[in-house]
């Protein structure tokens, strides 16, 4: 049987699991917004070891901590990939560094979520 970080007491373990579920639920409740049509396209530079791929993706939604994107399957996206995301906003370009947290492959596209790097103090 695998080692667990849960308490051996069943009631205490249940309480720990409820607390963890509430944390996950609150993270998912973070406000998300759909981008404006002129800001719904992103250029994503994916870093795989020493290689880099450029992917044009559609921004499906954005939150304070990350975004959900969709792109064609011609450039493989993998969980854990580092990426630089550039979004054109009028006359300026906004750039974010992020990490791919999940990928949902589909026959023609892949939908993936990224978590932005925390700003350095």
The predicted structure's pLDDT at residue 23: 67
pLDDT of 5-57, one tens digit each? 778 888 887 777 777 777 665 555 567 777 767 678 999 999 977 888 899 99
Domain positions in the chain are 1-30, 37-116
Task: State whether CATH 2.160.10.10 applies to domain 37-116.
Answer: no
CA distances from 70 to 13, 23, 36, 74, 108 (A): 38, 27, 16, 12, 10
Instruction: Give the helix/strand (H/E) hosting 67.
Output: strand 66-72
Q: Which has more confidence, 3 or 114?
A: 114
pLDDT of 65-113, one tens digit each? 899 999 987 888 899 999 999 998 878 888 999 999 999 988 889 999 9
CA 80, CA 104: separation in Å to the nearest integer? 14
């Amino acid at each position: 049987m695998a080692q667990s970080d849960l308490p051996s007491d069943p009631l205490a373990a249940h309480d720990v699991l409820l607390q963890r579920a509430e944390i996950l639920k609150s993270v998912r409740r973070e406000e998300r917004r759909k981008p404006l049509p002129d800001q719904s396209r992103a250029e994503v530079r994916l870093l795989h070891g020493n290689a880099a791929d450029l992917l044009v993706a559609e921004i499906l939604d954005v939150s304070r901590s990350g975004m959900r994107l969709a792109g064609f399957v011609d450039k493989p996206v993998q969980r854990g990939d580092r990426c630089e995301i550039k979004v054109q906003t009028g006359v300026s370009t906004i750039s974010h560094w992020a990490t791919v947290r999940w990928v949902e492959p589909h026959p023609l596209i892949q939908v993936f979520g990224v978590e932005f790097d925390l700003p350095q103090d």
